[in-house]
Amino acid sequence: MKYDVVVVGSGPAGSVTARFAAEAGAKVLIIERRAEVGVPVLCGEGIGQKVDAFHVLEGTRWIASKMDGARIFSPNGTKVTLAAEYAGSETGYVVYRDIFDQELARGAVKKGARLMLNTRAVGLLKKNGKIAGVQALHLNKTIDIEADVVVGADGVESRIGKWAGIQTTLKPHDLETCAQYTLANVDGTSPYCDFYLGKQIAPGGYVWVFPKGKDTVNVGIGVLASLSDSGKALRLLDKFIASHAELKSGQPLRLLSGADPVAEPIESIRDHLLLVGDAARHVDPITGGGLMLSIEGGKLAGETIGRAVEQQRFDQQFLSEYETKWKGAFGKKLHRNYVVKETLLDMEDKTLDMLADSLKDYKFEEFSTFSLIKALVTKHPSLLVKLTPLMKLARA
Ligand SMILES: Cc1cc2nc3c(=O)[nH]c(=O)nc-3n(C[C@H](O)[C@H](O)[C@H](O)COP(=O)(O)OP(=O)(O)OC[C@H]3O[C@@H](n4cnc5c(N)ncnc54)[C@H](O)[C@@H]3O)c2cc1C
């Protein structure tokens, strides 16, 4: 088997990379260890409306509900609302993640990429010391897939980067352990995604309630691994549901557990190799959200690969175009949000209550974590002194 590009993983990062590389004329193969793209779902399924600008999803089948904003509840229940009322439009979607991933993969295949399921990468192929493809297990048979470029789109547990000598180990302090129920028999029609903070509620993380329309919601929790033990996320989630009357009647349609990196990005290129999405730690360290960044980074990676194939240049220097571009698009934001995450972790519940109280009537100009941080820094410059230079950096 010989391709220009082999993409390991058919999540959003892999499919979008494959789509743009194939569109630029590259011969692309995606390999996926699962038997079905996007299944099982491991996600809260929330994404910002910015996804529309990428034109990578057709129709509306992937949308469960449209959101008008978000509400953040501090430990004592004080509510801060970031609403479309001020942003001027809808702000995001709760999606059906299985359909969402399948639509992205369909888009890649339509542009000419090939997709192999039940195919797990088990190592890198090398020729004269250079990466030359991947070795994979397909239905228990070992196969060699030769390729000029290997894309590690293999998610939070990524092995591709490690095999290429990149430092990929995540500290427990930079990892959220998560659990989530999709609950039926509850009100799923709220136009808000809700976030609950507090050391007793979710140490180092938060609980989310994302409405999926009609009578269904996703209610999930992320707890920092360094503050967690086995089963703690689920215990705290059950406690949260039991103490919220509007959720108590819910019956689970799905229970999932997973992990989410809340780290700074790692090196994303080597000769003949790129990392995208969770594998590159392209995840917002505050929210743990990585869907939008997987699509944004995947597009940049696919375009760079397209040019690399055209010019037959697969060296790290040529591929660094991708790294320069993702750093320009969202590198500063990820660094700033990592510092914000660290600052929030240091805060006592009563400080969070005080901050929320000062913002409860604030009229946000836009719907984003940036506007929230900007408001906090403006109102509490001495408390958030560490963040002020980063705000200037992010605005530059
Ligand atoms: C509980 C939870 C809730 C979340 N909620 C949200 C949310 O609401 N909004 C949001 O934006 N983000 C959310 N995230 C994060 C989001 O799911 C990820 O950022 C996103 O899936 C990253 O996409 P990806 O393509 O990089 O990786 P993934 O979607 O993880 O895809 C990686 C793919 O690679 C495959 N793979 C792995 N290893 C191999 C191998 N060796 N060979 C072949 N295939 C392989 C996997 O099977 C998988 O299909 C959540 C994460 C968790 C755990």
pLDDT at 86 over 60: no
* pLDDT of res. 374: 81
pLDDT at 296 over 80: yes
The answer to whether the CB of 47 is under 6 A from ligand 1 is yes
Residue whose CA is closest, atom 2 of ligand 1? 43
The answer to whether the CB of 134 is under 6 A from ligand 1 is no
**Span from the CA of 250 to the centroid of ligand 1 (angstroms):** 26
* pLDDT of res. 364: 77
* pLDDT of res. 82: 85
The answer to whether the CB of 296 is under 6 A from ligand 1 is no
Residue whose CA is closest, atom 27 of ligand 1? 155
* pLDDT of res. 365: 67
Q: Output the six-digit token pair for 292.
A: 């939008």
pTM of the full predicted structure? 0.95
- Residues 363-373, mean pLDDT to the nearest whole number: 75
CA distance 164 to 196: 39
The answer to whether the CB of 92 is under 6 A from ligand 1 is no
The answer to whether the CB of 205 is under 6 A from ligand 1 is no
Residues 194-204: tens digit of each pLDDT = 999 999 999 99
What is residue 279's DSSP assignment? G
3-class DSSP state for residue 51? helix
**Span from the CA of 278 to the centroid of ligand 1 (angstroms):** 7
Contacts of 129 (CB under 8 A, 6+ apart): none
Pocket test for ligand 1, best of 33, 41, 221 (most atoms within 8 A of CB): 33
**Span from the CA of 291 to the centroid of ligand 1 (angstroms):** 8
Q: In angstroms, how far is the first alpha carbon of the chain from the final one?
A: 46
* pLDDT of res. 338: 93
Domain range 2-63+95-171+264-337, CATH class: alpha beta
**Span from the CA of 43 to the centroid of ligand 1 (angstroms):** 8
SS (H, E, C) 127-191: ECCEEEEEEEEECCEEEEEEEEEEEECCCCCCCHHHHCCCCCCCCHHHEEEEEEEEEECCCCCCC
Angle of the 369-379 helix axis to the 349-359 helix axis, nearest 10: 100
Nearest alpha-carbon partner for 178 in 226, 239, 222: 222
Angle of the 388-395 helix axis to the 369-379 helix axis, nearest 10: 140
**Span from the CA of 156 to the centroid of ligand 1 (angstroms):** 7
* pLDDT of res. 268: 98
Q: Output the six-digit token pair for 275.
A: 């990392």
Domain assignments of the chain as residue spans, ordered by start: 2-63+95-171+264-337
pLDDT at 89 over 60: no
Residues 107-158: tens digit of each pLDDT = 999 999 999 999 999 999 999 999 999 999 998 899 999 999 999 999 999 9
Pocket test for ligand 1, best of 124, 158, 208, 291 (most atoms within 8 A of CB): 291
**Span from the CA of 388 to the centroid of ligand 1 (angstroms):** 32
Residues 257-278: tens digit of each pLDDT = 999 999 999 999 999 999 999 9
